[in-house]
Structure formats: structure tokens, C-alpha cells
Amino acid sequence: MSLSLTGLRHVVVAGAHCDDIAIGCGATLLALRQEFGDLVVSAFVLTGAGTPREAEERAALEAFCPGVRLTIEDLPDALTPAHWLATKQALATFTRMLPSPADLVIGPQVADAHQDHRLLAELLVTEFRAQPVWGYEILKYESDLPQVTTYVPVSEADARAKSALLHENYASQQDHPWFDEEAFLGLMRVRGAQCNTRYAEGFVVAKSVIEIGDHA
């Protein structure tokens, strides 16, 4: 069973670290950009400003979604829970500066094992109370892949383009043992099998409001 996403004008994507957004929902972003030509994408990243990772992130997100509006903050990597107020205020400032209300918000999922991912996931649902908030999954050393509830089928071309763009743009991450094409395509293949297609990205969605008919 599937529902179709229509009328999308503005999507917010959020990540704790430079590369989280592209790893978590890169293929979905590629598909959204193709389907919705005038889509505005606003991106928020908690950490990395002023480091070499900022340039990587700017180039990568521009490749995934040309024209992206990108805000990168300089909160301390791995320590954001100790900077709760600054994190909350940075997200609130980003939200206040949005050019229009978001139709969809995509960020980390609340059961992620990484403390920065988890904090941002918790704050997103408090900041975006009128929007659907999807939590992406991040494959890593920890065994914390979630039981995803929502699937976005993606084409093989977009799945492979995601992997290629990750490799082209995040040179600093390529020594991680999980950072390779087999891992990226493998997870998308598993999520594809679970929704009866070839490739998909999976999301955790805690709450949905479904209107019957067009109430826009």
C-alpha cells in the first residue's frame, strides 16, 4: 500500500554533522528535486562551520539539490547534549529565517545511537509541530538501525548517484569502514526489498496526519 506525495514546495532537511543529510536521505532528495521542479530546500547542520567539513558539505548538498539554502552551525561535534540551549536556539533561529513554512521535514531519527543525532531528532519535532517529520537512518559502527515505518522507493540511477556523490564530496570520511558503495547500496536494497521494489530509503515516522481529499 502506498500514498503519493504531491504539491511539495518546501522541504527542510537537518543533520547533526556534515554528511548526515546526504547519507540519510540523499536519494530521496534527488527524487524530490526531479519531481518538484520549483522545490525549495532549506538545510540545517549543527556542527562543522569553519572546518574543512563545511566546504565538503556545501559542495555535496549543492550537488544533491542545486540552489539549496544551507545553514551550518559550529556546535561542538559529539558534545551537543552539553550545549542543549545553544542547539535549541540555533534551530529556532534557522526556523525563524525560513522563507516559507516547510511542507516536510527530514532529519535524524530519535533512537539513533549517536547523541548529536538523537538530540537534533528530539528538537526537530518540538520546532516543527505542524509538519510531517521523517527520521532517516545512518549506517555506522553501532548496531542501531531502526525498524523503519516509511519507505521512499528510489530509482537505481538515484541510488547509484547518491553513492557516487557521497564518494566525490566527502573525502574526509572515506576511511570509515562503513563508507563504501556496497554499504550504501546494500541498505537501500534491503529497504527496497521491504517495500517490494529494488531500492528505497527508509524513515521512522512517529506521527502522521492524513487528510482525505485536497484541503490545500
Using the contact rule CB under 5 A, the part of the chain among 10-18, 33-41, 150-158, 186-194 near Zn ion is: 10-18
User: Under rule CB under 5 A, which residues in 15-54 are in contact with Zn ion?
Assistant: 16-17, 20
Nearest approach, Cβ of residue 138 and Zn ion (Å): 6
78 vs 193, beta carbon nearer Zn ion: 78
Could you tell me how many residues of this chain bind Zn ion (CB under 5 A)? 3
Nearest approach, Cβ of residue 53 and Zn ion (Å): 11
**Cα–Cα dist 134/136, whole Å:** 6
Nearest approach, Cβ of residue 20 and Zn ion (Å): 4
CB within 8 A of 96, min separation 6: which ones?
A: none
14 vs 102, beta carbon nearer Zn ion: 14
128 vs 136, beta carbon nearer Zn ion: 136
18 vs 63, beta carbon nearer Zn ion: 18
Mark residues 166-205: x for contact with Zn ion by CB under 5 A, - for none.
----------------------------------------
Look at strands 150-154 and 199-204 and give their pairing. antiparallel
Read off the amino acid at residue 211: E
Which strands sit side by side in the sheet containing 10-15, from one edge to the other? 69-72, 40-45, 10-15, 104-108, 133-136, 199-204, 150-154
Using the contact rule CB under 5 A, the part of the chain among 12-20, 44-52, 92-100, 145-153 near Zn ion is: 12-20
Nearest residue to Zn ion by CB is 17
| Residue 118 binds Zn ion (CB under 5 A) | no
Nearest approach, Cβ of residue 199 and Zn ion (Å): 22
Nearest approach, Cβ of residue 114 and Zn ion (Å): 6
144 vs 181, beta carbon nearer Zn ion: 144
Site residues, Zn ion (CB under 5 A): 16-17, 20
